[in-house]
């Protein structure tokens, strides 16, 4: 019996149930992934016991000798992997990484340009109920109606008109390449700071499957748990000149003690991301996304922008007579996990949404390839074209669990 099972059988059971859910179901949420045993071992280590406010060599408590070594290691690995001048690995999440950048270069009331949330932007890029929309004046830009690519002409026009303090290039539901060089050109023209949020595509960037923003941007923020496949957390990279202000915004400005066990796990993930195996994994993520997109197109689905360049696909369900919310619930009954998602120019509110967002990072981690993507496309089609037929839904559910059992995740490792 494990110590957890002995001390708290209730929580032990919940974790065992979640493990089983992850093993037996298809995880297609584009922002999720499965961290390695090594990452989880570091995250579950005695480092959780240590307070280490401050930075390496400048801590407020004693006993931080090993904390300094591990934080320096994480910073160095991130610097080398991304080619960045300065790195802060302390943000607890992607939103806190973004907050740190905003606080370090903007005053309340300042203007920034960010991607419209209904067109693929993120909560922390100007949602009216998020700090990012409450404190600042947000000018949203969108995608073009004809091809669903970012409307760079509109970005330039808005930048010239509003002279923002900052421009943000980043998204949480955009299936195409982001052209950071164009953003940098616009930012330079209006003397704005350029921040890029690469949370979704950080893993693709380090594996050269997506252009890097590092040569173009003043700041790059990311989470560490999506395509990067590390522990849940955030990170900021920036040009050297912004380093001191950024660091002091994170501590003491916004956070207290850093989560040193998570920072150790970030270090492990960054080392994993530097391996040839990780590059091959990212290649497969992109190949799988293309295969799944093609399978869905062949099944008669409409995809936002017509396809994908990265790890995610946005399916437009307006011609299927089913909302995103209904699709999410129906697929869940067939053991397929996705999230409802607004599509550009969506007539429905985000709580219902006209689309679903799907991604291949998690299924690729469990070694599925293009054949499996074609199968998944046909499973999804069967369920979404027969959303009230419980017999079909349960037959697909059985096929899904059979498929998952051929690609074990943690149980046999
Ligand atoms: N919630 C994440 C996503 O799903 O894209 C972004 O933080």
Read off the CATH number of the domain in which 294 is found.
3.90.1150.10
Number of H helices, E strands in the chain: 16, 15
Can you tell me the distance from the alpha carbon of 392 to that of 381, in angstroms, rounded to the nearest whole number?
11
Can you tell me the distance from the alpha carbon of 37 to that of 45, in angstroms, rounded to the nearest whole number?
12
Domain boundary pick from 273, 307, 327: 273
Domain boundary pick from 253, 273, 293: 273
Active-site residues: which are they?
A: 51, 53, 197, 223, 226, 232
Q: How far apart are the first and last CA of the chain?
A: 19
Interval between CA 399 and ligand 1 midpoint (Å): 28
Q: Is the dihedral of CA 127, 162, 141, 188 positive or negative?
A: negative
Can you tell me the distance from the alpha carbon of 130 to that of 121, in angstroms, rounded to the nearest whole number?
13
Residue 411 lies in a domain: no
pLDDT in tens, 201-240: 999 999 999 999 999 999 999 999 999 999 999 999 999 9
pLDDT in tens, 124-160: 999 999 999 999 999 999 999 999 999 999 999 999 9
Read off the CATH number of the domain in which 179 is found.
3.40.640.10
pLDDT in tens, 325-344: 999 999 999 999 999 999 99
Interval between CA 389 and ligand 1 midpoint (Å): 31
Q: Note whether 19 and 57 are same-domain residues.
A: no
> Is the backbone peptide bond immediately before 252 cis, with ω within 30 degrees of 0?
yes
Query: What pLDDT is recorded for position 413?
Result: 45
Q: Note whether 44 and 25 are same-domain residues.
A: no
pLDDT in tens, 64-120: 999 999 999 999 999 999 999 999 999 999 999 999 999 999 999 999 999 999 999
Query: What pLDDT is recorded for position 412?
Result: 55
Interval between CA 172 and ligand 1 midpoint (Å): 6
Closest CA to ligand 1's atom 1 = 31
Q: Note whether 265 and 282 are same-domain residues.
A: no
Q: Note whether 163 and 46 are same-domain residues.
A: yes
Mean pLDDT estimate for the chain:
97
For residues 301, 302, 303, 307, the Cα torsion angle rounded to the nearest 10 degrees is: 80
Share of the chain above pLDDT 90, in %: 99
Q: Note whether 199 and 74 are same-domain residues.
A: yes
DSSP 3-state of 54: strand
Q: What is the DSSP string of 292-306?
A: HHHHHHHTT-EEGGG
Strand partners, 199: none
Residue 240 lies in a domain: yes
Structure tokens at 13: 């059971």
For the segment 23-37, the average pLDDT, to the nearest whole number, is 98
Furthest CA-CA distance within the chain: 65
DSSP 3-state of 22: helix
pTM above 0.75, yes or no: yes
Strand partners, 26: 336
Strand partners, 384: none
Q: Indicate if ligand 1 lies below 6 Å from the C-beta of 323.
A: no
> Is the backbone peptide bond immediately before 30 cis, with ω within 30 degrees of 0?
no
Q: In the structure, what pLDDT confidence band is assigned to residue 411 with cuts at 50, 70 and 90?
A: confident
Structure tokens at 114: 């960010």
Can you tell me the distance from the alpha carbon of 296 to that of 307, in angstroms, rounded to the nearest whole number?
10
Residue 35 lies in a domain: no
Structure tokens at 261: 């066990």
Q: What is the DSSP string of 385-408?
A: HSTT-HHHHHHHHHHHHHHHHHS-
For the segment 32-36, the average pLDDT, to the nearest whole number, is 98
Q: In the structure, what pLDDT confidence band is assigned to residue 35 with cuts at 50, 70 and 90?
A: very high
- Comparing CA positions, the residue from 16, 71, 30, 56 lying closest to residue 262 is 71
Q: Note whether 249 and 118 are same-domain residues.
A: yes
pLDDT in tens, 251-303: 999 999 999 999 999 999 999 999 999 999 999 999 999 999 999 999 999 99
Domain boundary pick from 273, 305, 329: 273
Strand order in the sheet with 302-303: 302-303, 312-316, 355-359, 339-341
Q: Note whether 89 and 197 are same-domain residues.
A: yes
Q: Note whether 291 and 185 are same-domain residues.
A: no
Closest CA to ligand 1's atom 6 = 172
Q: Which atom of ligand 1 is nearest to the CA of 124?
A: 7
Q: Which residues span the domain enclosing 188?
A: 40-273
Share of the chain above pLDDT 70, in %: 100
- Comparing CA positions, the residue from 229, 311, 236 lying closest to residue 270 is 229
């Amino acid at each position: 019996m494990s110590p957890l099972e002995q001390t708290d059988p209730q929580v032990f059971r919940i974790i065992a149930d979640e493990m089983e859910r992850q093993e037996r179901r298809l995880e297609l949420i584009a922002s999720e992934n499965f961290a390695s045993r090594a990452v989880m071992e570091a995250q579950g280590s005695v480092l959780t016991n240590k307070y280490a406010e401050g930075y390496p060599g400048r801590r407020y408590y004693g006993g931080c000798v090993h904390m300094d070594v591990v934080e320096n290691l994480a910073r160095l690995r991130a610097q080398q992997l991304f080619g960045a001048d300065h790195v802060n690995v302390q943000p607890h999440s992607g939103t806190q990484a973004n907050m740190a950048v905003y606080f370090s270069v903007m005053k309340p009331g300042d203007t920034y340009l960010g991607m419209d949330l209904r067109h693929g932007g993120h909560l922390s890029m100007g949602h009216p109920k998020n700090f990012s929309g409450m404190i600042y004046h947000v000018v949203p830009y969108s995608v073009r109606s004809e091809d669903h690519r970012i409307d760079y002409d509109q970005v330039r026009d808005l930048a010239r008109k509003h002279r923002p303090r900052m421009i943000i290039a980043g998204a949480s539901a955009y299936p195409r390449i982001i052209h950071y060089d164009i953003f940098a050109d616009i930012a330079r023209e209006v003397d704005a700071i350029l921040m890029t949020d690469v949370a979704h595509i950080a893993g693709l960037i380090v594996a050269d499957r997506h252009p890097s923003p590092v040569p173009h941007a003043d700041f790059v923020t990311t989470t560490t748990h999506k395509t990067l496949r590390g522990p849940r957390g955030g990170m900021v990279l920036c040009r050297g000149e912004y380093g001191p202000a950024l660091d002091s915004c994170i501590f003491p400005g916004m956070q207290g003690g850093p989560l040193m066990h998570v920072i150790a796990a970030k270090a492990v993930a960054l080392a994993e991301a530097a391996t040839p195996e990780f590059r091959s994994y990212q290649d497969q993520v992109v190949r799988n996304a293309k295969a799944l997109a093609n399978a869905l197109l062949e099944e008669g689905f409409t995809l936002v922008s017509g396809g994908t360049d990265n790890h995610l696909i946005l399916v437009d369900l307006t011609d299927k007579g089913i909302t995103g919310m209904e699709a999410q619930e129906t697929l869940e009954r067939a053991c397929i996990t996705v999230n409802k998602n607004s599509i550009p120019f969506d007539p429905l509110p985000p709580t219902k949404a006209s689309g679903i967002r799907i991604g291949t990072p998690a299924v690729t981690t469990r070694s599925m390839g293009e054949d499996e993507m074609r199968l998944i496309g046909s499973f999804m089609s069967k369920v979404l074209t027969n959303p009230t037929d419980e017999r079909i839904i349960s037959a697909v559910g059985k096929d899904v669990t059979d498929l998952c059992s051929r690609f074990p995740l943690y149980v046999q490792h």
